[in-house]
Structures are given as C-alpha cells and as structure tokens.
C-alpha cells in the first residue's frame, strides 16, 4: 500500500506499490515500470502472489466507480 505520508513524486519514482489484501491470504503488488509504449497507454502490471496481469489504468478507473 502506498504510504500516505510520502511525497507523491517519491511514490511514483519507486515504480511499484503494495496493496493491502483484506483477506490476508495474498500478496498484491502494482508495478508501473513498463516500457515507454505501455506508459503512454497507461498500462500497469498487477501481481497477486505469482499470478501477473497487465491492465489499462483508464479502464480500471471506469469500473472502480461502481465499487
């Protein structure tokens, strides 16, 4: 989970962040250290334990508004 007290630039430059899994069963990490084309398209990598997917940030934001 990104720490709220850190400066935004410091969080961005770290290139990854941990997301708290409230079931406490999984390790969840977000990485945005992809290539330049993926950065332009606002893609990111989501890792849950050893499973990895690459997602579109804008599409995620669109669906998260229903949560």
Residues of the chain above pLDDT 90, percent: 58
Please answer whether residues 53 and 46 qualify as being in contact, where contact means their C-beta atoms are separated by less than 8 angstroms: yes
Q: First-to-last CA distance in the chain? A: 19
* pLDDT digits 0-9 by tens, 25-52: 999 999 998 888 988 899 999 999 999 9
* pLDDT at 9 (0 to 100): 76
Give, in order, the Cα–Cα distances in Å from 60 to each of 5, 44, 66.
25, 10, 11
Residues of the chain above pLDDT 70, percent: 91
Please answer whether residues 44 and 55 qualify as being in contact, where contact means their C-beta atoms are separated by less than 8 angstroms: yes
* pLDDT at 3 (0 to 100): 57
pTM of the model: 0.76
């Amino acid at each position: 989970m990104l720490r709220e007290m850190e400066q935004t630039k410091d969080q961005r430059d770290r290139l990854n962040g941990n997301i708290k899994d409230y079931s406490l069963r999984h390790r969840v990490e977000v990485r945005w250290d992809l290539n330049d084309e993926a950065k332009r398209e606002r893609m990111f990598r989501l890792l849950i334990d050893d499973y990895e997917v690459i997602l579109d940030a804008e599409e995620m934001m669109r669906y998260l508004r229903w949560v």
